[in-house]
Amino acid sequence: MEAFPDVAPTLEVLTRTGLTSGMLSNGTPAMLASALEASGLVSSFAHVLSVESVGRYKPDPRFYALATSQTGVPLERIVFVSANAWDVAGASSFGLRVVWLNREGAPREELPGKRAAVMTSLSELPLLVS
């Protein structure tokens, strides 16, 4: 699986500015390792967190709690990015600051939660978090 062209450069900018990137996924650890290897992004993520560690799928709040418990990063210092509206709703309801990556310009779905921002490209993220 290839990553979108804006992913690697954006992750490099975030790393150079001293920010840490992580991944929260409903995928298994083996699936995530394989996808990261195939996309060449293995070294881009300090944390790769899977549902298997809590036995709950997104949007269960216990899964989003991994963002703080497994990284040691306080909730208020985390920016959660997702292209999935249900994931945005779940993360926001948990209390994460959420950015919706809306590459296609889709209309907003009527789901609970609040977005801190909406982007059409991941390349917008460094400016949003600076």
125/7 Cα distance (integer angstroms): 10
Distance CA 43, CA 34 (A): 13
| Residue 91, number of CB atoms within 10 A of its CB | 28
Is residue 2 in a domain?
Answer: no
Looking at the structure of the chain, the number of domains it has is 1
Whether residue 1 lies inside any domain: the answer is: no
E runs forming strands in the chain: 22-25, 47-50, 79-82, 97-101, 117-119
pLDDT of 77 reads 95
118, part of any domain: yes
Per the domain annotation, does 78 fall within a domain?
yes
How far, in Å, CA of 33 to CA of 125, rounded? 24
Domain range for residue 41?
Answer: 7-129
- Give residue-wise pLDDT tens across range 18-41: 999 999 999 999 999 999 999 999
**pLDDT at residue 27, rounded to an integer:** 94
Quote the pLDDT of residue 80.
97
Evaluate whether residue 34 is within a structural domain.
yes
Residue 85's H or E segment, with its range, is: helix 85-94
Mean pLDDT by 10 residues, the chain (130 residues): 92 96 95 95 96 90 94 95 94 96 92 90 95
CATH of the domain at 21: 3.40.50.1000
Q: Does the model's pTM come out above 0.95?
A: no
- What pLDDT, on a 0 to 100 scale, did the predictor assign at position 110? 84
Compute the distance between CA of residue 49 and CA of residue 67 in angstroms, rounded to an integer: 8
**Three-state DSSP class for 105?**
coil
